[in-house]
């Protein structure tokens, strides 16, 4: 048992989820030896290219963990191949009323209904300007109005390697998501040559959600998008949330993620990279997604349950699996 499982997780889980997140952020602001704590191996066999960006490994930090982008430097130092900050909107948002995160330790899951609290694009641009770039970094954006989304992107674009469009937050009302995605990608493509990824909602085979996710991915591709992130949290009813609903993440998503990746790769073709996200905890989970056609993966909930040694365990396991394949 590692130190996080023995002590760290017990401490964090004794606090309510948002307090424990604030504690994690305070710790990330300290000059601790993050590289040693993360324990990621730097193995040339893990290097990959994501829409032209070289990553030292294919393990990304998913959007939502660092909504203000204040700790992308420490998170990069932990050993992630790349980090995604945000979701950021043009104007500051307080998000939904509390409670808006709950844990389900038996399933290694979380439910959240954060509602995208963030300090707004101008504040985030200032934070990014003074934060060291220790790994390639993206910012996630999600404004409902096109002009706001373009404004957000223009403010953060000089400080990032790519933009991820959150076309799938269960907590933001994007009506007509696929036409909005298409318009937004087209508008941003005219303004930047940096990679534009679109994050789609999760789906199961053969239902309406699948058609919706596929139409967003196709619209993104046709409008000049650079890649797809597959996928966001699964919308569920949850009476613990102030809103009565939220997005489920972690363990319950593990089995479905490689299936979704394979379907999206199949639909959009081999030219656009797909990033797998949802319930990835182990190198085997990551391997199944890469084997399904993903170019990289992203994690969030596993970081809460497994702690900061996650980049270490994932990179060690993936490096070993690459060696046995060759
Ligand atoms: C508390 C919390 C907040 C999140 N906030 C965002 C967000 O702001 N933007 C976004 O695109 N995804 C957000 N997500 C979704 C994650 O980025 C990820 O897509 C999802 O949790 C599935 O991956 P996981 O099972 O590894 O956590 C959030 C997830 C959680 C648990």
Q: Which residue has the tokens 């596929």?
A: 214
CA 110 to ligand 1 center in whole angstroms: 9
pLDDT tens track for 117-148: 999 999 999 999 999 999 999 999 999 999 99
According to CATH, the superfamily of the domain at 3-325 is Aldolase class I (3.20.20.70)
CA 233 to ligand 1 center in whole angstroms: 6
CA distances (Å), origin 192, targets 43, 122, 127, 291:
32, 18, 21, 31
Residues with CB under 6 A from ligand 1: 62-64, 67, 87, 101, 110, 112, 114, 116, 140, 166, 169, 199, 232-233, 249-250, 253, 277-280, 299-302
Return d(Cα 319, Cα 59) in angstroms, integer. Answer: 12
CA 232 to ligand 1 center in whole angstroms: 6
Whether pTM > 0.75 for this model: the answer is yes
Return d(Cα 91, Cα 206) in angstroms, integer. Answer: 38
Return d(Cα 174, Cα 180) in angstroms, integer. Answer: 8
321 catalytic residue (yes or no)? no
Task: Answer for the pair 121, 68: CB distance below 8 angstroms, yes or no.
Answer: no
pLDDT tens track for 19-73: 999 999 999 999 999 999 999 999 999 999 999 999 999 999 999 999 999 999 9
Q: How confident is the model at residue 175 (pLDDT cuts 50, 70, 90)?
A: low
- Which residue is closest in CA terms to ligand 1's atom 22? 278
């Amino acid at each position: 048992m590692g130190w996080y499982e023995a002590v760290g997780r017990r401490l964090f889980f004794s606090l309510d989820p948002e307090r424990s997140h604030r504690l994690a952020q305070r710790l990330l602001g300290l000059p601790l030896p993050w590289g040693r704590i993360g324990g990621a191996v730097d193995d040339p066999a893990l290097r990959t290219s994501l829409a032209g960006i070289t990553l030292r490994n294919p393990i990304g930090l998913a959007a939502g963990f660092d909504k203000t982008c204040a700790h992308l430097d420490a998170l990069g130092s932990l050993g992630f191949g790349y980090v995604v900050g945000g979701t950021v909107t043009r104007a500051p948002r307080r998000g939904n009323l509390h409670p808006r995160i709950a844990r389900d330790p038996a399933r290694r899951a979380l439910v959240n209904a954060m509602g995208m609290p963030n300090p707004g694009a101008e504040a985030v641009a200032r934070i990014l300007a003074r934060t060291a770039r220790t790994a390639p970094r993206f910012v996630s954006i999600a404004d409902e109005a096109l002009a706001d989304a373009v404004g957000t992107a223009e403010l953060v674009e000089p400080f990032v390697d790519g933009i991820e469009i959150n076309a799938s937050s269960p907590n933001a009302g994007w009506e007509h998501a696929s036409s909005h995605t298409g318009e937004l990608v087209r508008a941003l493509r005219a303004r930047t040559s940096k990679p534009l990824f679109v994050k789609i909602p999760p789906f199961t085979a053969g239902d309406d959600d699948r058609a919706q996710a596929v139409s967003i991915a196709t619209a993104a591709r046709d409008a000049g998008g650079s890649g797809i992130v597959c996928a966001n949290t699964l919308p569920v009813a949850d009476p613990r949330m102030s809103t009565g609903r939220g997005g489920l993440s972690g363990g319950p998503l593990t089995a479905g993620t490689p299936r979704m990746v394979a379907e999206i790769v199949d639909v959009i073709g081999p030219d656009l990279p797909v990033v797998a996200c949802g319930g990835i905890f182990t190198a085997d989970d990551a391997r199944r997604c890469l084997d399904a056609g993903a170019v990289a993966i992203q994690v969030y909930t596993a970081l809460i349950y497994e702690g900061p040694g996650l980049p270490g365990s994932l990179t060690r396991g993936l490096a070993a699996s690459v060696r046995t394949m060759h």
